[in-house]
Structure 1
């Protein structure tokens, strides 16, 4: 069993023990087609440099009864795409991500924060460029339930999240301050239970 799966299984067991017999935490596997991570940073305070990552993998554990949950997501940094091949090469190089040494970024969060029954944020840690720092993502929306498309029904959890991260906190200081320090992340996720086939 891979480490992320073991960790999420442990969280699910803890959630069962803490929330009582009615709790029903479910493990969801991210749908790579409908999951994305976009980023943006200022360029000379005149415009923004924007891009996305194309290879994302991960799982979510969520208990709809209690609102508790956990996330473990990895991003393949080599899949960065800004629409500019030269810039993509610079970002992959030792000047920024240094993918030869640090090929993956990883988000692990085990605190789901709700207000009035609505998820408003998740808190955990982001590992990037060999550094791990606390991170809080604001939940712009989050919902779980059955959807039907082309006559096929399945359970789906999905949401949009936003965070601002100082790249200098992760040791990436190249081109500061011309290229902005604060990087805005937009994370969109959709996930379905691995054991729940479409019907």
Structure 2
């Protein structure tokens, strides 16, 4: 009997040590990316992209994961159709040539049981630079309506737009751009 208990305990430990990663796909109705910047020092302008898609893999037991996100830059929403066209122009996002921006993680860092930062590469306007996202909120639980596991997070980073060939009017229009991501994703 002692051998059976020992085998069961060992099997339980082994199963915990080899927990499988879980994959999630973003919910397009609850996943958005936004950006803000200083406009001549008068105000902080806030805009968003209406279409952001992401795939997330997380192994909470092993404290590892990955994130791949694609932003449709043509979905920029400043609140003004005229300004949307301006931001999509060659001086800024040049969406005719670069219709998407992407983020691909290289490492997900944990603090305790939750992701705290995500290192990765942001590609914007054909330029790829390393960026670290700071996770400000993270939650996984059964979704009450979808009846399956869901995870959500908020994360932020600051980039310099001049480093991505989008620096027209800098420094009067702020070079520092704060990127903010809100994602909700359902288990595949």
Matches within 5 A, 1:1-199: 22-149=18-145, 152-194=146-188
User: For the Cα contact (< 8 Å) 2:60–2:113, is it kept in 1?
Assistant: no
Query: Normalization by structure 1: what TM-score?
Result: 0.83
Deviations 1:148-175 (A, max 9, x none): 13xx522101101011011011111111
Query: Normalization by structure 2: what TM-score?
Result: 0.88
Which is worse superposed, 113-122 or 22-31?
A: 113-122
Gaps of 5+ in 2: 1-14
Structure 2 SS opposite 1:176: coil
> 2:3 corresponds to which residue?
none
User: Number of aligned pairs?
Assistant: 174
**Which structure's CA Rg is the greater one?**
2
CA–CA separation in structure 2 for the residues paired with 1:76 and 1:147? 27
Deviations 1:105-160 (A, max 9, x none): 000013111122232110100000010000000000112221313xx522101101
Computed over aligned residues only, the root mean square deviation of the Cα atoms, in angstroms, reads: 1.5
Gaps of 5+ in 1: 1-18, 195-199
> 1:8 corresponds to which residue?
none
User: For the Cα contact (< 8 Å) 2:134–2:157, is it kept in 1?
Assistant: yes
